[in-house]
Structure 1
C-alpha cells in the first residue's frame, strides 16, 4: 500500500513505549497533543524523537493541558472564562502553545493541527475562528517555528461545519498562494464509513483533500478498540481472506482513496505486527470497498 503507518498517542497508556515500538515497526510519524496522557505525552515523546530524528511529529493547539491553565493565565495568553472552558483558539494562546510544544518536544513540529475547532463554537463563528487560527499558524511557519499546519477534527467535516474547499480558501486568505496548510485529520473506520463511501464516488472530504494534495491522517481506525468486536469472521473473510477482524478493519481504512497515513494508538507488539502486515500488502480493490460499504451502510 502507498499509505503510511503512524502512531496516534491519544489512547496510549505508555507513550514512550508506544513510540519506541512505532519506530521499530517502521512508522514514519507520531501524532500527539499537549493534553494527551494527562498532559505528559509531548514530554514522554521527547527522548524517542531525539533518538529517531527520521520520525516526523505533529501536535495540536486548542485544548488546555492539565496543569497548564495557571501558566497560561500568568502569561496573559488566556482569559479566566476561557480557562474554565478548557479550549482556546485565540491567536495569543495558539502562539504560546506552539512555543511550549516546540520546547517540550525538543524539535520543530512538522505539522500543528487546529484541534477540534468545532468545540464550543457556533456555526456562524466558525469561519472567523479558523481564519484567525490559520493566520497565526502562517506567522509561525514564516518565523520558522513550525513547518506546516492542518485541522484535526472529530465531527467538523461530518456535521458540515466546514469542508476542504473552505479550509483552502481560508489558508489562501491567510497565507497567499503558497500557504502552509498541509493536512487534515479525521476518524475513519468501518464505524465511520461515510467519507470512504463518498470517496469511492469521487466526492467528499477525502476526494477534496486528494485533489488539493493534502495529507489525510486517519484517526481511530479501530474506533477505540471496538472494530475487532464488530467485524465478524465472515466479514473479515470478505474484506481480506485470512485476515483477523482488526487487520480487515485496518485494511479498509488503509485502502481508502485519499488516505495518506493511518494512526494506530497502541503499545502492544502484536498490534504493531498486525498493522505492519496490513500496510505491507496491496490495497483492497475498490469493488471490495464498495461491498463493505454496502454491507455495513454509512
Structure 2
C-alpha cells in the first residue's frame, strides 16, 4: 500500500459505487473521497455505509443543496432543508463527514435581487458553519460549478468556508477561472484551501485530448515522459491554483496514471501566457480549435 496522496480526491459523481474501486484507490494511497447527498440516485451515503470498515481509512467529503423533486433533483438553500440533509447525511453514512460543501449555491441565488441573494447565501453558509461547530461535520466549504454570481455576494457578514472547490483544468473558461480566484480572495482563502474538480470536463476519453497538446505546460523531462492526459491533469493544479483535485474514475489504471503525474514539473510562465491568451480570445475560448491555438502560442519556443 502506498503512502497517502493528499493531492488527489476520488470523486464519486459518476461512480458505480463498487467496493473494488475504493479498494484499488486505497491500495494506491488515495485517502479522500468526495460524494454528495444527491449522487447515486440519492443513495450514495447509504451505499458507502454498506461497505463497512472499508470506508474507515477514508476522509469523506460530501455536499448538500440538491433534494428529490417530482421531476428530478431540485436545488434549495432553505435552512431547514439544509439542516435536514446534514442530519440525514450523518445517519446514512453512519459517521460524521469530514467535510460538507454547500453544493452549487449559485443555482438558488442567481436571478434574485442582490440583497436577497446575499442574505440567502449568508444564511445557508451559516447553517453549515453552525453544523461544523455542533459536530455534524468536521469542516465545511463551498463547491461551485459557476462561481461568478457568488463573488459580489460575499461580504464581511458571510461566514468564511474552510474549503472552496471549483472547476479546474484546460477546459475551464477564463471567466470561470477569474471568478474562482476572486471568490477565494473575497474569503482570503490560500491556495491550500482551494480544491479543483472535473479536470477533464467529465470527458477524459474525449478526442480533444488528442487535438491539443497539454505537454507544453510541463518542464524538461516531464514533457517527454508524461502522456497528454497526465499533462492535462498536472496543469489542472494551476488553472486555477489548487492544492487538491477531485477526479472520478472506476478504472484503477486511469487513477494510477494520474497519480504518476504528480511529480511532473509545471512551467508556470506557460500557464500565465495561456491565461493571457484566453483573455484576449474571450468568448471563443471554449472551442477546441481556439484552445489548441492558445496552447501552441503559449508554449515556450524551446518546447
Give TM-score scaled by structure 2 length: 0.76
Contact 2:66 2:76 in 1 (8 A): yes
| Runs of 5+ consecutive residues of structure 1 not aligned to the other structure | 70-79, 173-180
**Partner residue, 1:263:** 246
Partners of 2:197 and 2:63 lie apart in 1 by 14
Deviation at 1:228, TM superposition (A): 5.0
Instruction: Name the CA shift for 1:237/1:88 in 2 (closer, same or farther; >3 Å).
Output: closer
Contact 1:61 1:97 in 2 (8 A): yes
Deviation at 1:206, TM superposition (A): 5.4
**Partner residue, 2:102:** 114
How large is the Cα RMSD of the aligned pairs? 3.2
| 1:51 counterpart = 2:54 | yes
Q: Deviations over 1:83-134 (max 9, x none)?
A: 9872222111111111111111121111111111121432423211211112
Deviation at 1:142, TM superposition (A): 2.1
Alignment of 1:48-87 (within 5 A): 48=51, 50-65=53-68, 86-87=74-75
Contact 2:234 2:264 in 1 (8 A): no
Alignment partner of 1:216 out of 177, 194, 205: 194
Higher helix share: 1
Contact 1:207 1:257 in 2 (8 A): no
Partners of 1:22 and 1:183 lie apart in 2 by 23
Deviation at 1:225, TM superposition (A): 1.3
Q: Deviations over 1:39-97 (max 9, x none)?
A: 222222225573353421111111015xxx6xxxxxxxxxx9xx987222211111111
Deviation at 1:139, TM superposition (A): 2.1
Instruction: Name the CA shift for 1:221/1:213 in 2 (closer, same or farther; >3 Å).
Output: closer
| 1:183 counterpart = 2:163 | yes
Contact 2:102 2:128 in 1 (8 A): no
Alignment of 1:1-298 (within 5 A): 4-48=7-51, 50-65=53-68, 86-121=74-109, 122-124=111-113, 125-155=116-146, 157=147, 160-163=148-151, 166=154, 169-171=157-159, 181-194=161-174, 198=178, 204-205=182-183, 211-212=189-190, 215-226=193-204, 228-232=206-210, 235-240=213-218, 241=223, 242-256=225-239, 258-279=241-262, 281-293=263-275, 294=277, 296=291, 297=294
Deviation at 1:152, TM superposition (A): 0.9
| Runs of 5+ consecutive residues of structure 2 not aligned to the other structure | 278-289, 296-303
With 235-244 and 181-190 compared, the bigger mean Cα shift is at 235-244
Contact 2:204 2:229 in 1 (8 A): no
Contact 1:164 1:209 in 2 (8 A): no
Deviation at 1:205, TM superposition (A): 4.1
Partners of 1:44 and 1:14 lie apart in 2 by 7
Instruction: Name the CA shift for 1:49/1:114 in 2 (closer, same or farther; >3 Å).
Output: farther
Aligned length in residues: 268
Contact 2:66 2:75 in 1 (8 A): yes
Instruction: Name the CA shift for 1:208/1:131 in 2 (closer, same or farther; >3 Å).
Output: closer
Deviation at 1:167, TM superposition (A): 6.6
